Amino acid sequence: MTGEAILIVDDNPVNLKQVKVLLSAQGYDVRSAGDAEEALVLLREFKPRLILMDIQLPGMDGLELTRRLKADPAMSGVVILGLTAYAMKGDEARVLAAGCDGYLAKPIDTRRFPQLVAAFLKKPS
């Protein structure tokens, strides 16, 4: 799975850097966007296999962006994992209903995170 393209969409620079460092160290081609609009611009040229999507984004939230991406035939086969720091009852159901393929609560477990990402990348698209 090394070399697979991953996009991180998160408005928190610390989260972006942490995830980018963890996944880059595993050999992934990692790009990042600070909001939905920046992600949409980046996705015109960059075709990730997996998107790590923060749910709480300024402007268009991660759930709306996920719905738009999942409706786009050009994005078929892209795995989207919803990430949120506000893990409350019902959040996982909301995230999955929006089209995310999985859900992770923040803060992430830095020891297990690369293995979780690798497991989602192994799933058939």
Here the CATH number for the domain that contains residue 49 is 3.40.50.2300
pTM for the model stands at 0.92
Domain count, the chain: 1
Q: Kindly report each contact of residues 95-99 with a partner whose C-beta sits within 8 Å and lies 24 or more positions away, as own/partner.
A: 95/55, 95/63, 98/63, 98/64, 98/66, 98/67, 99/66, 99/67, 99/69, 99/70
Nearest CA to 59 out of 101, 6, 7, 11 is that of 11
Q: Which domain holds residue 30?
A: 5-122
Mean pLDDT per segment of 10 residues, for the chain of length 125 residues? 88 92 95 97 96 94 96 94 77 87 88 92 76
Check residue 105 and give its pLDDT: 84
Distance CA 81, CA 62 (A): 10
Check residue 2 and give its pLDDT: 63
Check residue 123 and give its pLDDT: 76
